[in-house]
Amino acid sequence: MKIACPKCEFRPMPNILWLCRPGCGHKWQTFATHGICPRCSKMWHDTQCPHCKLWSPIDDWYREDIPERQPLVRRKQPETQEELSFRDAAQSALVPSILDKAFKGEL
């Protein structure tokens, strides 16, 4: 099950919090409780999108027709001066060889 605003398709990240107001003022992730404030148990039948600011029934946010978020792929950062030096040397050796091949028409 995916979560997205039915009006603008905004997909909130889990760190976005909603405020129970009017109510007890508690901040929480509304989709984790299906719109029920964990502090005062107020049931929010409608939810405001933090992106487009429009209100929609909370049930309309739960979707099966949108693709799963792709995980972020992070490159490993060089950790030591030796790794940095090796990377820089490899890149400097690579650039001239590519340029030489390009000028010779080999690419």
CA-derived radius of gyration, the chain: 25
Domain co-membership, 62 together with 15: yes
**Structural domain span for residue 92:** 74-107
Domain co-membership, 47 together with 80: no
pTM of the predicted model, to two decimals? 0.58
pLDDT in tens, 23-55: 999 999 999 999 999 999 999 999 999 999 999
Question: How far from 53 is each of 10, 11, 25, CA to CA, in Å?
Answer: 11, 13, 19
**Total structural domains within the chain:** 2
pLDDT in tens, 7-21: 999 999 989 999 999
Integer Cα distance of 65 and 31 in angstroms: 17
